[in-house]
Amino acid sequence: MPSTFEELGLSEATLKALGELGYEEPTPIQDRTIRVLLEGADVIAQAQTGTGKTAAFALPIIEKIETTSRTPQALVLTPTRELAMQVAEAFHSYSKHHRISVLPVYGGQPIDRQLRALDRGVQVVVGTPGRVFDHIRRGTLQLGQVRTVVLDEADEMLDMGFIEDIEAILKATPYTRQTALFSATMPAPIVKLAQQYMHEPQRITVESEQKTLPQIRQVYYEVGRRDKFEVLARILDFEQPTSAIIFCRTKLEVDSLGERLTARAYPAETLHGDLNQTQRDRVMDRFRSGQVELLVATDVAARGLDIELVSHVINYDIPLDPDSYVHRIGRTGRAGRAGVAVTLVTPRERRLWDMIQRTTGSSLQRMRLPTIADVIARRREAFKETLREAIAQDGLEPYTILAESMSDEFSPTELAAAAFKLLLGPTPDETDDRLAEPEPMERDRGQRPEGKRRERNQMGPERGMTRLYIDVGREDGVRPGDLVGAIANEADIPGRSIGAIELYDHFSLVDVPSNQVKNVLNALKGTRIRNRKVTPSIAKPVRTRS
């Protein structure tokens, strides 16, 4: 069993920051490394980007900073300026409740800005070896008080020809320092460097349990970080999962993805460590019974879930290590049923992904993103299947009579085509196929009328729906997902049964099924949405200006 962050011996301030970031438990590399670094030992850790290695070294450093002294106490060397900036940002977020100053130094940034910052005094320096060495030569960076040095992505630094700079920098730091080396691979020069400059380092590799994977189709998509949500939406349209678990890395990401999905008419429930047992049970009931098709979850929350009928596991965030990949995808393909595992991989995660594939021995298929045309084709196939089923069932009589009554006027093909048109809705414009644009995707979803957040009809709510007035709006920070979430949770009705939503600055209009009005009004009264107490009422039947 992995430890908790508490068990690793981290301070309250750090635990608080991690909680706010939505981290639920240490990743394997954090589990193994943090303890050892806190004890003061040197560490050689074999870890890829994406495994959580930054926190693995940053957290122990933060715990040990003497806040009263404003000289550099820790130095982190990274191969690139991007990584230096990222690591510095990570330090900032992890040390939110400590008072620690962190300075990234890298080539390309005006040196006088760095000089001024160094003059004011910093406690953690994160930089590329070239620029750090520059500062040492100029006498602008004093490393005499440095207690910890981290070589991050050491193999990359080696490839970039930084080895001499690194050695010179290490020589400029106290012999008694603690040294931690992180590297995805361990080529000979790195091993030699470690032998020369480290004191009895502990070697940490995160081994995989190597499980046999169930017989499921495993595919992945390479996506830009910013396109992830649109890609997910497209994949959902294409795959039409009957029941999918979507994994995110943190609680915050779970909440935010859940909201975005719901707002885009993909009814989703969310599951993470902050829910109490009752809430959890409610979510699981809705997912198990098929009221919602999508469950967005963290690894921790999904652990121990026993659900038989998961058609898809979607790794919205790539898992942090091979074991967690195996655990996640083991949620589908149960009881001999076919399952699909889909993973989204961003360019930065490619190496980690290669490692996961290698370690799990999975044969994974890289997929081309389905185009709108693919989605339409798939939808039509599904529609044909539905028609075949309808024909096979009884009860066509009344419709046959209707069709025959028009057979003098139109051919059977014309009649069927008109009926299909009405059922399927307008055909999306395939030339509009630009992922960044949400609009075509939204139109794309005509296939599932019950799940679609219908376009507001200017004349009023649809038949069978009643419009409610809720006295919170955009200015209160309310988003459509908040309203759907609150109504679905409090009144215990499926999110998909909620109709159009219109957000104004100080109020919102929401269509709910007329037979649920009483229930919704009672359930919502006095509850809080975005921390505002609400008083809902039936909206007056006046036309609103939009």
Q: Which residues bind ligand AMP (CB under 6 A)?
A: 23, 26-27, 30, 49-55, 249-250
User: What is the DSSP track for 259-311?
Assistant: HHHHHTT--EEEE-TTS-HHHHHHHHHHHHTTS-SEEEE-HHHHTT---S---
E strands of 113-200, at which residues? 124-127, 148-151, 178-183
> What is the C-alpha to C-alpha distance for residues 124 and 91, in angstroms, rounded to an integer?
9
Gap between the terminal Cα atoms of the chain: 54
Residue placing its CB nearer to ligand AMP in the complex, 70 or 225: 225
State in angstroms the smallest separation of the CB of 328 from ligand AMP. Answer: 14
Residue keyed to tokens 């995808």: 329
State in angstroms the smallest separation of the CB of 276 from ligand AMP. Answer: 21
Residue placing its CB nearer to ligand AMP in the complex, 53 or 379: 53
State in angstroms the smallest separation of the CB of 299 from ligand AMP. Answer: 8
Residue placing its CB nearer to ligand AMP in the complex, 252 or 305: 252
State in angstroms the smallest separation of the CB of 249 from ligand AMP. Answer: 4
> What is the C-alpha to C-alpha distance for residues 268 and 227, in angstroms, rounded to an integer?
20
Residue placing its CB nearer to ligand AMP in the complex, 23 or 91: 23
State in angstroms the smallest separation of the CB of 11 from ligand AMP. Answer: 16
Residue placing its CB nearer to ligand AMP in the complex, 271 or 524: 271
Q: Distance from CA of residue 58 to its chain's centroid?
A: 22
**Which residues are registered as beta bridge partners of 314?**
246, 342
Residue placing its CB nearer to ligand AMP in the complex, 250 or 371: 250
Residue placing its CB nearer to ligand AMP in the complex, 106 or 197: 106
State in angstroms the smallest separation of the CB of 318 from ligand AMP. Answer: 9
Q: Distance from CA of residue 40 to its chain's centroid?
A: 34
> What is the C-alpha to C-alpha distance for residues 206 and 204, in angstroms, rounded to an integer?
7
State in angstroms the smallest separation of the CB of 95 from ligand AMP. Answer: 14
State in angstroms the smallest separation of the CB of 46 from ligand AMP. Answer: 13
State in angstroms the smallest separation of the CB of 94 from ligand AMP. Answer: 9
> What is the C-alpha to C-alpha distance for residues 435 and 222, in angstroms, rounded to an integer?
14
- Angle, in degrees to the nearest 10, between helices 81-94 and 53-64: 50
Residue placing its CB nearer to ligand AMP in the complex, 21 or 219: 21
**Which residues are registered as beta bridge partners of 182?**
45
Query: Which residues fall within 8 angstroms of residue 223, CB to CB, at 6 or more apart?
Result: 231, 344, 345, 346, 369
Residue placing its CB nearer to ligand AMP in the complex, 76 or 216: 76
State in angstroms the smallest separation of the CB of 296 from ligand AMP. Answer: 15
* CA quadruple 215, 220, 226, 228: dihedral, nearest 10: -30
Query: Which residues fall within 8 angstroms of residue 268, CB to CB, at 6 or more apart?
Result: 246, 257, 258, 261, 262, 292, 293, 294, 295, 296, 495
Q: Give yes or no for a contact between 515 and 540, defined as CB atoms under 8 angstroms apart.
A: no
- DSSP 8-class letter at 132: H
State in angstroms the smallest separation of the CB of 75 from ligand AMP. Answer: 18
Exposure string over 242-264, b if 16+ CB within 10 A, otherwise e: ebbbbbbbbbebbbbbbbbbbbb
> What is the C-alpha to C-alpha distance for residues 525 and 372, in angstroms, rounded to an integer?
42
**Structure token digits, residue 425:** 């809705």
Residue placing its CB nearer to ligand AMP in the complex, 297 or 441: 297
Residue placing its CB nearer to ligand AMP in the complex, 25 or 476: 25
Q: Among positive and negative, which fits the CA dihedral 279, 285, 291, 297?
A: positive
